[in-house]
Amino acid sequence: MNTKVYIVDARHPNTDLLVSAAHIIQEGGLVAFPTETVYGLGADGTDSEAVAKIFMAKGRPSDNPLILHIADTAMVKTLAKEVPANARILMGRFWPGPLTLVLKRTQAVPDVVTGGLDTVAIRLPDSEVARELIRLAGVPVAGPSANTSGRPSPTTAQAVLADLEGKIEGIIDAGPCGIGVESTVVDCTTPVPTLLRPGGITMEMLLEVLGEVEYQPIKGEDTKAPRAPGMKYKHYAPLAPMVLYEGDSAQVAKAIADASKIALESKRVGAIVSNETAALLEKGVQVADYGSRYRPEEVAAGLYEALRYFDSEPVDVIYAEGIDEFGLGLAVMNRLRKAAGYRIVKVE
């Protein structure tokens, strides 16, 4: 199929183009759309057949449930059986925005959306384009990130097309996403809300309004029954094997400089590092620079493009630099560890 590209302004999107895209969704087709975090792959969330096409196009395991995107808080009522006090606080403070809430679901939510769970993930995005698309479609829009399963999430329309061109009816291109990592997923069905996936709303922001949040960072791949089912799969991986260096930043920079220099003798070497570390590397190392290690927002915004950089610049091994886990750094490190398949070198 021919994937139609609708180019719109992120702030003042052309309504006629969004109406055409919304029609595709109403007719059971797939449209990729921008959000403030990453691009999503949208389908009518009330249409089981349409939602099933999302899993086909992405090659996504069917037990990994999807987020339902809504245009206003009123849409929660038909999807969630109850909205606990904590969820209400989070909605009031962070919606619209990069926060997804897991709530007890109603019968209106098709099984294919939730992978058979009795809960549903709901998000009200801040992106004007996303909200207007959902409003025009008139239904909750089921939408995972618009990448092939296992690959880095797309933060540009070009990255979406690289994975899904010819497999989806359309894409709305509103330029690069601002935040660059996915929404924070919080389970509000537990007595103390549980952080399932760190993302655009930081742990510090959650703690400020909730006081208490459960979080168990996943260590290694030995998670038998992960709470967010998507967390157990290989994710965000670049094409070449990647090794992640963590610890004191000066020592990490030195360790990557040393390791990449040795590797260069026999291999094509890539590095996903800060601009501070990039300056220390041998000329032969191919560098995808994610910005300053001291500005986690900058790293988040550049991370997935850096992970995709070596798709077109093939290398044999990639050395990646970790950052401190404050602010968006927590989400960045969660993604980098997965992308590395937990091949981690700790330096002190």
- Applying CB under 6 A, the residues found at the interface with ligand TXA are 35, 37-38, 40, 64-67, 98, 100, 102, 114, 117, 119-121, 123, 143-145, 182-183, 185, 196-197, 228-231
Nearer to Mg ion, 86 or 145 (CB): 145
Query: Of 35, 37, 145, 183, which one interacts with Mg ion (CB under 5 A)?
Result: 145
- Binding span for Mg ion by CB under 5 A among 1-9, 20-28, 144-152, 168-176: 144-152
Shortest distance (Å) from residue 246 CB to ligand TXA: 23
Compute φ and ψ for 117, nearest 5 degrees: -70, 160
Element spanning 334, H or E: helix 329-339
The option from Mg ion, ligand TXA, none interacting with 38 (CB < 5 to 8 A, set by class) reads: ligand TXA
Do 256 and 245 meet the contact criterion of CB atoms below 8 Å apart? yes
50-89 footprint of Mg ion as x/- string (CB under 5 A): ----------------------------------------
Q: How many CA atoms are closer than 13 Å to the CA of 248, on its beta-carbon side?
A: 5
Indicate the residue among 74 and 225 with the shorter CB distance to ligand TXA.
Answer: 225
Neighbouring C-beta atoms of residue 253, cutoff 10 Å: 22
Q: Could you tell me which stretch among 115-123, 139-147, 236-244, 319-327 binds Mg ion (CB under 5 A)?
A: 139-147
H-helix or E-strand containing 336? helix 329-339
Shortest Å, Cβ 37 to Mg ion: 10
CA angle 62, 65, 68 (to 5 degrees): 130
Distance of CA 200 to the CA centre of its chain: 9
Stretch that binds Mg ion, among 2-10, 126-134, 143-151, 159-167 (CB under 5 A): 143-151
Taking CB within 5 to 8 Å according to partner kind, which of ligand TXA, Mg ion, none is near residue 3? none
Q: What are the φ/ψ torsions at residue 244 (nearest 5 degrees)?
A: -105, 130
Q: In Å, what is the CA distance from 326 to each residue of 114, 176, 302?
A: 31, 24, 17
The single-letter code of the amino acid at 179 is: I
Burial of 44 from C-beta contacts in 10 A (0-12 / 13-18 / 19+): buried
User: Residue 66 binds which one of ligand TXA, Mg ion, none, with CB within 5 to 8 A depending on kind?
Assistant: ligand TXA
Q: Which residue has the closest beta carbon to Mg ion?
A: 145
> In whole angstroms, how close is the CB of 260 to Mg ion at the nearest point?
29
Q: Tell me how far CA of residue 3 lies from CA of 52, 160, 169, 317, in angstroms.
A: 18, 11, 5, 33
For residue 13, whether the previous peptide bond is cis, meaning omega lies within 30 degrees of 0, is no
CB of 155 to Mg ion, least distance (A): 12
Helix axes 128-137, 15-26, angle to 10 degrees: 50
Give the residue nearest to ligand TXA (CB). 230
Select from 45-53, 145-153, 272-280, 332-340 the region that touches Mg ion (CB under 5 A).
Answer: 145-153
Cα Rg, the chain, nearest whole Å: 20
117 contact choice in ligand TXA, Mg ion, none (CB below 5 to 8 Å, kind-dependent) = ligand TXA
C-beta closer to Mg ion: residue 147 or 274: 147
> Least CB distance from residue 304 to Mg ion, whole Å?
11
From the list 179, 58, 60, the residue with the least C-alpha distance to 115 is: 60
Kindly give the pairing relationship between strand 31-33 and strand 40-44.
Answer: antiparallel
Stretch that binds Mg ion, among 69-77, 140-148, 240-248, 331-339 (CB under 5 A): 140-148
Strand 170-173 to strand 286-289: parallel, antiparallel, or no bridges (unpaired)?
unpaired
Q: Does 149 bind Mg ion (CB under 5 A)?
A: no
Picked from Mg ion, ligand TXA, none, the partner binding residue 40 (CB below 5 to 8 A depending on kind) is ligand TXA
**293 touches which of Mg ion, ligand TXA, none (CB within 5 to 8 A by kind)?**
none
Return residues touching Mg ion (CB under 5 A).
145
